[in-house]
Structure 1
Amino acid sequence: MKKLFYLLLFVLILVSSCKKQITYKQVNVIPEYAEIQSKEDISTFTDTCITPYIYTKVISLRKLPVKEKKQKFVEMLLPSILLIQHNLNQKIKRLEHIELWLSKKQNYIKSDSIFLFDLFKQYNCSEIEELKIRLKPHSASIVLGQAAIESGWGSSRFFQEGNNVFGIWSYNAGENRIKALVGRDSTNIYVRKYASIEASVKDYYKTIARLNAYKEFRNNRSKTTDPYKLVPLLYRYSEVGDVYTDYLHKIIKDNDLTKFDSYTISKKYLKEETVDLSLLIKYPLNSIY
């Protein structure tokens, strides 16, 4: 009888929490997937609003003339950069929605709490404000510049064989990876193998967001979008420090990469969705700390 009472009480609480509809609007990207067998398969830009292609297979651009190689590299990479930037900004928007909700209600919606604490785990932090700083994307010009350096403008073996744009290492024998031809101090080096260019860009942004080495960079990118002010703060990305950041500055400037900072995803590939949260149980604010 006692168990039945508690069961009925639980049902009453659940029903009472569902009386008022709670909705949240998010904007999803509907990408196009493609494989690149030749340079003709790379979609060209006709204006600053571009199609969000996710390339799952690429080719080496090594043999192309320098000018064409750089153009094709940007056309191959920029759609994934914009897609990841969009998704990160959508996460920040959701966090702001949670903050607004908590300013009025002293409880979490179940889906919000799951979303929030999953991000806390992924990004190694425990405060919403810090999480927003870690998620904030930096400009495409910086990403393109680093990608150009790390992949030789799409010429590296890791780029061609593993969609690894940034040469990010692998320390986990259980993940997909590629062995480097040359090790270090008689130790083998492996780099990660990704399913797509988009997955590589996503992992790059997460690396910048998670590691303490980039804390100064993250804090400053929350205050400015100027790539030339931010680039010097990436000195810990490479063992050569300031030599690397000076070269990155030169790559961005000499190739006019900042013009791509104003590019956007074509609106016809964006779809607004209204998520109904009203059927989800609420947790007291102090019950999840």
Structure 2
Amino acid sequence: MKFISTFFIASCILIQSILYAGGLSSDYYQIEDSAKQKEEFIRELKVLVDKGNDEIKKDREFITNFFAKAMPDAFRGLNQQNVGYLISLRNKYGIESLFDRDEYFKRIDVIPTSLALAQASLESGWGKSRFAREANNLFGHWTYSGVGLMPQNRTIGKTHMIRIFGSLQKSVNSYMLNLNTNDAYIAFREKRLQARSSGKSFGGMEASKTMVNYSELKEEYIKMIKEMIEQNNLLIYDK
């Protein structure tokens, strides 16, 4: 029975990987010139990053308008539809208090484009990794649900798997939500808020300094992000 159970689980994983197999456009993988392939990767990924940030901007605009109207009236006579949407945002961004305006503004904000491009490049090997091509996973996200891709050479005793996404856009959106909600990136959110509050820019180089918890490589990983940004001139996408 144990053999059958293991076989069944493995079959489910295989089916999942087939159903969600994706990666970048087929033309991308036909490009032989590495420089041109990198350019195409950046072009395709920037579209996804921009779309993800646009969704965050919409959420932030709602929060701005909601509190601008609700606070002067001491939250009396609230539109129930707006309250319902506020509840959905509280749940999405993991905010404890429904009317904690400051926490909404701290968590609902855009991700520097250069940072997203650099990390996607690093984590997916410019979109050519097995995880990217078979699971649409651009940022190395793990899962403990039991459904995903089995990492090759996974350490004995470890139970994590590579999360499968239905599309590359969902992978990008998950990455952004992760930075905006996970306790590992509190420093990222605080530094971003400080920059916004003082009217300063918050680009990939500043953001990279807060990514020490993203990888087991710690400080070395920060160095890798910075080098990726510099070598590929990614800061131009933060403007």
Settle same-fold status: TM greater than 0.5.
yes
Identity over aligned pairs, percent: 22
Per-residue deviation, residues 44-91 of structure 1 (Å, max 9, x unmatched): xxxxxxxxxxxxxxxx57x73321221111122110100110110110
Per-residue deviation, residues 208-242 of structure 1 (Å, max 9, x unmatched): 11111100111111233132222111111111111
Letter in 1 for 2:68: L
Q: Is the 8 A contact 1:182 1:188 kept in 2?
A: no
The structural deviation recorded for 1:104 is 3.4
Alignment equivalent of 1:254, drawn from 223, 228, 231: 231
TM-score of the pair, normalised by structure 1 = 0.67
Q: Is the 8 A contact 2:211 2:222 kept in 1?
A: yes
Instruction: Indicate the residue corresponding to 1:232 in structure 2.
Output: 209
Give the unaligned 5+ runs of structure 2.
1-23, 196-201
Instruction: Indicate the residue corresponding to 2:219 in structure 1.
Output: 242
Distance, in Å, in 1 between the alignment partners of 2:42 and 2:36 is 10
Q: Is the 8 A contact 1:182 1:189 kept in 2?
A: no
Q: Is the 8 A contact 1:154 1:160 kept in 2?
A: yes
* Greater strand proportion: 1
Q: Is the 8 A contact 1:214 1:234 kept in 2?
A: yes
Letter in 2 for 1:140: T
RMSD: 1.7
Distance, in Å, in 1 between the alignment partners of 2:166 and 2:127 is 16
Larger Rg: 1
Instruction: Indicate the residue corresponding to 1:128 in structure 2.
Output: 101
Distance, in Å, in 1 between the alignment partners of 2:80 and 2:32 is 52
Distance, in Å, in 2 between the alignment partners of 1:37 and 1:253 is 28
Q: Which runs of 4+ in 1 moved over 3 A?
A: none
Q: Is the 8 A contact 2:120 2:138 kept in 1?
A: yes
Instruction: Indicate the residue corresponding to 2:152 in structure 1.
Output: 181
How many aligned positions are there? 205
Give the unaligned 5+ runs of structure 1.
1-34, 40-59, 263-289
TM-score of the pair, normalised by structure 2 = 0.80
- Matched position secondary structure for 2:71: helix
Distance, in Å, in 2 between the alignment partners of 1:111 and 1:72 is 42
Instruction: Indicate the residue corresponding to 2:79 in structure 1.
Output: 109
After superposing the two structures, state which structure 1 stretch, 189-198 or 154-163, moved more.
189-198
Taking the TM superposition and a 5 Å limit, the aligned residue runs for 1:1-289 are 36-39=25-28, 60=29, 64-105=32-73, 106-125=76-95, 126=97, 127-173=100-146, 177-224=148-195, 225-262=202-239
* Greater helix proportion: 2
